[in-house]
Structure 1
Amino acid sequence: MPVTTPVSDLPNLVRTLRERLGLSQEKLAASLGVSFQTVNRWERGRAKPSQLALNAIEQKLAEMGVQGSDLLYKYFKQQ
């Protein structure tokens, strides 16, 4: 499902997901199949996640259950 929030909010999504999972940028990158530099650029707002990466982020939020449900709703609202 497409992201329903402004691109300017994506750094917050990535950072909050990483913090809730208790992961470093390196570990989140590995779990999403991207480089540390990519996650770092996402969090700094210098790049935005590809649709494939957004799908992986959405899946991670869904797997988190209640802990990720607010982010899932905010960023990936079910129509």
Structure 2
Amino acid sequence: MELGKPLKTSDLIRELRQQLDLSQEKFAAKLGVSVRTVNRWENGSTLPSQMALKLIEEMLHKMGKAGKKLVNEYLPKAEQREDF
């Protein structure tokens, strides 16, 4: 990742998928979306739906410390939920 680059949802999704060692195809299948949708999220051309974000949040929770590290790195404190 480039230094000085703002951290975005697209970066979080890519990092999560890579840490879970999933291809875009397998990640898409876990979320019930198309590969093209995951590709668009990672390119930053679209954002995940609220339903997809909820599933992504659940994946982060299941990762434990690694998931919490991603949340702390990519989401500003104001966006983090209290129960994470």
State the TM-score, normalized to the length of structure 2.
Answer: 0.78
The match for 1:4 is none
Letter in 1 for 2:58: Q
Equivalents in 2 of 1:18, 1:77: separation in Å?
20
- Structure with the higher fraction of residues in helix conformation: 1
State the TM-score, normalized to the length of structure 1.
Answer: 0.83
Aligned residues: 72
Please list every run of at least 4 consecutive aligned residues from structure 1 whose deviation after the TM superposition is greater than 4 angstroms. none
Shift of 1:67: 1.4
SS of corresponding position for 1:47: coil
Task: In structure 1, list runs of 5 or more residues that go unmatched.
Answer: 1-7
Equivalents in 1 of 2:23, 2:60: separation in Å?
17
CA RMSD in angstroms, aligned pairs only: 1.5
The match for 2:67 is 68
SS of corresponding position for 1:39: helix
Percent identity between the aligned chains? 49
Equivalents in 1 of 2:31, 2:37: separation in Å?
10
Shift of 1:31: 0.5
SS of corresponding position for 2:28: helix
Shift of 1:70: 1.4
Shift of 1:72: 2.8
> Higher Cα Rg: structure 1 or 2?
2
The match for 1:77 is 80
Shift of 1:78: 2.2
Task: In structure 2, list runs of 5 or more residues that go unmatched.
Answer: 1-6
Q: Point out which structure has higher relative CO (alpha carbons under 8 A, 6+ apart).
A: 1
